[in-house]
């Protein structure tokens, strides 16, 4: 097996044992990227020189017998809405096309401290607003399993890069499913931690009460490794939870006896593709054979989750994106302006794409005088009802299992002119963001057309350890995570 096809844990082990050097890993990886990136288009920028330099530093540490970090020599990609000092952070938007942050995000500092090698920034829907990766201002990323299909969104670049072996692991952000949905469509493992478990410092804000940085990896053990590194309290983020981080890695193969799994009936009704539903039911049978008890559940208010989400998310986006005015940083219109209002209008007209404009306008509308109570305030109340549904459910079960998405990956262009159908792609992932609970998507099968299907596991607040163990149990019983698209 070629080194690029190995998991992050296995390549790290080989580097530490000196069976291969970090520099050799990086150079082989970039040779593969040179071949496949023109087809997949997962990246917005690459940093081969910086990666080789970092690899040499790690190899020198190892040759000197010095201690190395948890990610020693592992190449990592970053979604391009995570700030990196000295490297562009564009959010796939023309308004930030040439923006270079002066500082690293909290998670970037963490992975650097643990000797990861940052190889580049991955493509996304502009400002993380989208479910297909078709809203990037620069190019569309393609699904490695079928390049006529979308890789999911907003973090399709990270998911496609991991599946195509163009990185060993990646970081993304999840506001309504932007880690889990692309991982389901691309057939890898996407984990969204509890809101507050991972600092959002340095993550370009979309919807501040929903955004959470998450992991994209080849298997569950790699997810545990990367989550271990990036989790923890950060004084620069007021929403960061001052809660101890358990050891996700050490006992990941041990699952409690008499595991109780909730199966929410609302997630198996109208709109669910039969092949997806069948694969998820087969997965539940595997848990049942391993001693788990399946508990029928109702989450009655989840039917309002999409509407609630698109009110809250757009309202917060309209506030967060007001900072892009062409004055302090970012795009500045080259046309002359008569006044500051004209300047703002031109900057935003030229810099923002159509989906971002749609959401800003919608957000301004729901926050405007006379409509705040009817929309935003009511959505906040429904959000509390959805939260109560999950609180009641978790009194009965240890975790909840359902499909990650209602369908498999769809064709490029299939839903781009129908925003409502596009928004419904996240119908099963959105509730976790509204409630703030952790969720993970793992591959659980393939459609007749050979496209991956994702299984979603949801847990209680700050119970990432439990959902990782439940995911690992399924992974140990199946080989879906080992299957690769034919890219050779």
Catalytic residue list: 79, 154, 178
Token pair listed for 160 = 């496609």
Cβ neighbour number for residue 387 with a 10 Å cutoff? 16
CA atoms of 2 and 7, how far apart (whole Å): 11
Sheet with 399-403: strands ordered across: 43-46, 117-122, 75-79, 169-173, 213-217, 189-192, 439-446, 452-458, 399-403, 260-264, 293-297
User: Rounded to an integer, what is the distance from CA 9 to the centroid of its chain?
Assistant: 20
What string of H, E and C letters represents the secondary structure of 412-428?
CCCCCCCHHHHHHHHCC
Token pair listed for 433 = 């963001």
Instruction: Please answer whether residues 171 and 79 qualify as being in contact, where contact means their C-beta atoms are separated by less than 8 angstroms.
Output: yes
CA atoms of 226 and 76, how far apart (whole Å): 10
CA atoms of 217 and 252, how far apart (whole Å): 15
| Radius of gyration in angstroms for the set of CA atoms belonging to the chain, rounded to a whole number | 21
């Amino acid at each position: 097996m070629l080194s690029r096809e190995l998991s992050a844990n296995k390549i790290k082990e080989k580097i530490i044992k000196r069976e291969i050097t970090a520099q050799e890993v990086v150079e082989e990886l970039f040779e593969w990227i040179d071949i496949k990136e023109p087809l997949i288009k997962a990246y917005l920028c690459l940093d081969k020189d910086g990666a080789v330099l970092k690899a040499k530093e790690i190899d020198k540490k190892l040759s000197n017998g010095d201690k190395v970090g948890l990610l020693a020599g592992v190449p990592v990609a970053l979604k391009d809405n995570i700030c990196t000092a000295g490297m562009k952070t564009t959010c796939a938007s023309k308004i930030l096309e040439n923006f270079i942050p002066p500082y690293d995000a909290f998670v970037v500092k963490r992975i650097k401290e643990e000797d990861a090698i940052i190889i580049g920034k991955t493509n996304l829907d502009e400002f993380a607003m989208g479910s297909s990766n078709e809203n990037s201002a620069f190019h569309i990323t393609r699904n490695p399993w079928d390049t006529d299909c979308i890789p999911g969104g907003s973090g399709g670049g990270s998911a496609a890069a991991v599946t195509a072996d163009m990185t060993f692991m990646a970081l993304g952000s999840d506001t309504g499913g932007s880690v889990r949905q692309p991982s389901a469509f691309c057939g890898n493992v996407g984990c969204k931690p509890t809101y507050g478990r991972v600092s959002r410092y340095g993550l370009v804000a979309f919807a501040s009460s929903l955004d959470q940085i998450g992991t994209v990896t080849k298997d569950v053990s790699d997810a545990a490794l990367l989550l271990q590194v990036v989790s923890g309290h950060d004084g620069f983020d007021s929403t960061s939870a001052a809660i101890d981080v358990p050891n996700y890695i050490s006992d990941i193969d041990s699952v409690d006896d008499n595991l109780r799994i909730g199966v929410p009936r609302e997630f198996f009704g109208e709109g669910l593709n039969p092949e997806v539903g069948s694969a998820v039911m087969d997965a539940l049978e595997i848990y049942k054979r391993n001693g788990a008890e399946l508990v029928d559940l109702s989450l009655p208010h989840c039917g309002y989750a999409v509407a609630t989400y698109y009110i809250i998310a757009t309202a917060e986006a309209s506030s967060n994106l007001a900072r892009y005015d062409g004055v302090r940083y970012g795009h500045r219109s080259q046309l002359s302006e008569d006044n500051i209002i004209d300047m703002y209008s031109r900057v935003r007209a030229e810099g923002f794409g159509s989906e971002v404009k749609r959401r800003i306008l919608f957000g301004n509308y729901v926050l405007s005088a006379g409509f705040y109570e009817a929309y935003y305030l009511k959505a906040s109340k429904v959000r509390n009802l959805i939260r109560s549904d999950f609180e009641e459910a978790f009194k009965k079960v240890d975790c909840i299992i359902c499909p990650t998405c209602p369908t498999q990956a769809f064709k490029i262009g299939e839903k781009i002119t129908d925003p409502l159908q596009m928004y419904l792609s996240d119908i099963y992932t959105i509730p976790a963001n509204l409630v703030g609970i952790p969720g993970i998507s793992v591959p659980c099968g393939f459609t007749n057309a050979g496209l991956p299907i994702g299984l979603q596991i949801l847990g209680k607040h700050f119970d990432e350890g439990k959902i990782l163990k439940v995911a690992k149990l399924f992974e140990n019983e199946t080989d879906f995570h080992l299957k690769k698209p034919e890219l050779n």
